[in-house]
Structure 1
C-alpha cells in the first residue's frame, strides 16, 4: 500500500472512521472495513490509535469540532441575537434535508454503550455540554432573564427535533421546535 505523510494518513483514517461510524454505528465499523475503505494498512491505524476504542473517540471528537463549527457558523449568520436563537431550527432543518443525514452521531453512538463512564459516552456528554454552552451564550446575548434554564429547554427542542427527523422522517420537526421556542419567548 502506498501511504502518504503521517499527518495526512491520520486524517484519512479519522475521516473514514467518522463517516463509517456515522453511517452504520460503532459495532458495524470493523477494523477490516476501516483498512479497506481508508486504503491504509492495519499497522498504520495502530500506529496512531492504540485500539478501536481510541480511534472511535478521536473520530467523535473530530466530528464534534467540525459539527459545532459548522452549526454555530450557520446560526451566527443571522443579524441579531433573537434572529440567531430562532435560526437554530432552520439550520437544523437544512441539515435534516441533506443527503446522508442520520441523526445525532453522539446520541447514536451513546446508544451503543451501556456504561455512562465509557469514553464514547463522555465525548457525547462533552458535545452536548458544548451545544448547551453555545445556546446559553445566545440566550445571554438576547438578554433572557434565566439564560441557563431556557438554554436547557432549547437543547431538548434541538435533540427532540433531530430525533423526530431521523426516526419519523419529519423534517418539519425543526419548524415545530422553532414554534415552541417562540412560545417560550412569548413572540409570534
Structure 2
C-alpha cells in the first residue's frame, strides 16, 4: 500500500475510533464537530476530507461496528462442538458484550432513535444491520437443524436481551435469554450430530 493511502486509512481509522467512542457513549446529536475534532485529534478540514458530512461519518461508524459484530459472533460459534452449542454461543457473545464497561445498548437502535425517522441514510444503515443480523442468527439456528419458528424466536430472545440489558445496566439478560433458547431448542428435537459430520 502506498504511503499516502496508508496514512489516509490510518487517519480514517483514528476518526472512526473517536466517533464510535463519543457517539456511542454520549449520543450522536449531543456531540458537535468541534468535540469530535478534539476526540479524534484531527483538524476539521481533514475530518471533512475523510467524511463530507456528519451523516456520512455516522453511517461509516455503524457499518464498521456491524462488520465487527458479525465477525465476532461467527468466531464464537466456530469452536462449538455441536449445532446446539453453536446456537447458544450467540448468547455467550452477548454476555461478554453486556459486561463491557462502556455498554450502552444497541448502537443501531440508539442511532435510529435519535436520527432514523428524519435521516434516510441512517435509517437505511440500521435496516441493513437488522436484516443481516437477523439472517445471521436465524441462519445459525436453521443450519443447526431447528425449525424456522424456533429460529425466529431465538432471534427475538437475542434482541430482547440487548434491549433489557441496556435498560437494566446488567449482563444477566444474556443468561436469562440463553436459558429460554435452551428450552426452545429442547422442544424442537435438537440434532445430535457434531458440526462437520453427516
Scaled by the length of structure 2, the TM-score of the pair is 0.85
1:16 Cα deviation (Å)?
Answer: 0.9
Task: Kindly report which structure 2 residues correspond to 1:1-188, keeping only aligned pairs within 5 A, or say none.
Answer: 5-115=7-117, 118-146=120-148, 149-186=149-186
**Structure 1, residues 148-176: CA drift from partner, whole Å, max 9, x if none?**
x3332222111111111111123211111
Instruction: Rate the CA distance shift 1:114–1:133 in 2: closer, same or farther, 3 A.
Output: closer
Alpha-carbon distance in structure 2 between the residues aligned to 1:170 and 1:15:
25
Scaled by the length of structure 1, the TM-score of the pair is 0.89
Alpha-carbon distance in structure 2 between the residues aligned to 1:143 and 1:48:
45
**Structure 1, residues 9-61: CA drift from partner, whole Å, max 9, x if none?**
11111111112111111101211011111111100011111111111111111
Alpha-carbon distance in structure 2 between the residues aligned to 1:19 and 1:151:
33
Q: CA RMSD in A?
A: 1.8
Alpha-carbon distance in structure 2 between the residues aligned to 1:151 and 1:117:
31
Alpha-carbon distance in structure 1 between the residues aligned to 2:75 and 2:31:
30
- What is the aligned residue count? 182
1:107 Cα deviation (Å)?
Answer: 1.1
1:77 Cα deviation (Å)?
Answer: 2.5
CA contact (8 A) 1:132 1:151 kept: no
